[in-house]
Amino acid sequence: MVLTGAGISAESGISTFRDNGGLWENYSIYEVATPEAFEKNPALVLDFYNQRRRQLHQVQPNAAHLALVDLEAKYDVKIITQNIDNLHEKAGSSQVLHLHGELFKARSSRNPNLIIHHETDIQLGDLAADGSQLRPHVVWFGEAVPAMEEAASLVAHADIFIVIGTSLNVYPAAGLVDFCKPNCEKYLVNPEIVYNIPKDYRVIKEKAGIGVPALVKELLQKGE
Ligand code: OAD
């Protein structure tokens, strides 16, 4: 099992949220990433995600995404990502669970289960099949995380758990690091100190593009 956050896509050119110069330094969460923000100023919220979606057409997976694909040669690799980009899929990973939604999907603002594939801008007036305004298929602050139950169960059954590029600031996702069984091998890849990580994780203090390929090489050798 692998849990990824914004840091794994940083070297592909996508900003993280809480680092210096991160997205939440330039935007207020309360203005662009809550249901209340969408009610108050839907055009601003749509524009924020339209910019992210446009950027996604320009970026490519990096060495860390690609290494996780290589790991599938010997392991049953399942990725839980907090990211709304599609770089794990673009790299070729076959099992990816998106906890916080996907930029290339849109949904009805009335019915969370009415989801369509959507790679272009969403404008005010673009309607879902039920006649409601289309909105990005992303989990906003204050909304439920429907994939959480499945994610928790996957982590609880894992033999190896690798946590990459997340500050572990956002719950419930951050709580997944405590769900492993006692004999699970646990790794953290992050160039910075992550304060919420339990003490029994082996910390690889490197950027994902260096630390993940090195760890994958080690695990593949071990699996021989
Ligand atoms: P954050 O921006 O909170 O944290 C990014 C983490 O990536 C930090 O711990 C950095 O040290 C690390 N990092 C930076 N560059 C890296 C690199 N090259 N390689 C590896 N790690 C690197 O992002 P997340 O933890 O993903 O949710 O944030 C979680 C959630 O908060 C997001 O899914 C999003 C956000 O608000 C929603 O919008 C609901």
Q: What angle do CA 214, 7, 208 make, to 5 degrees?
A: 10
- In the predicted structure, residue 224 carries a pLDDT above the cut 70: no
Question: Could you report the per-residue pLDDT of 177-200, keeping only the tens digit for each?
Answer: 999 999 999 999 999 999 999 999
- Annotated active-site residue 88? The verdict is no
Distance (angstroms) between ligand 1 centre and the Cα of 223 equals 30
Distance (angstroms) between ligand 1 centre and the Cα of 21 equals 12
Ligand 1 atom closest to Cα of residue 192: 11
**Which pLDDT belongs to residue 223?**
60
Question: Could you report the per-residue pLDDT of 83-123, keeping only the tens digit for each?
Answer: 999 999 999 999 999 999 999 999 999 999 999 999 999 99
Considering only 21-25, 47-51, 114-118, which range has the smallest mean pLDDT? Answer: 21-25
Ligand 1 atom closest to Cα of residue 165: 21
Question: Could you report the per-residue pLDDT of 127-185, keeping only the tens digit for each?
Answer: 999 999 999 999 999 999 999 999 999 999 999 999 999 999 999 999 999 999 999 99
- In the predicted structure, residue 68 carries a pLDDT above the cut 70: yes
Q: Is the separation of the CB atoms in 79 and 4 below 8 Å?
A: yes
Ligand 1 atom closest to Cα of residue 173: 29
Distance (angstroms) between ligand 1 centre and the Cα of 151 equals 18
CB-based pocket (< 6 A), ligand 1:
5-7, 10-11, 16-19, 22, 33, 82, 100, 139, 165-167, 169-170, 190-192, 194, 207-208
**Which pLDDT belongs to residue 29?**
93
* pTM of the complete model: 0.97
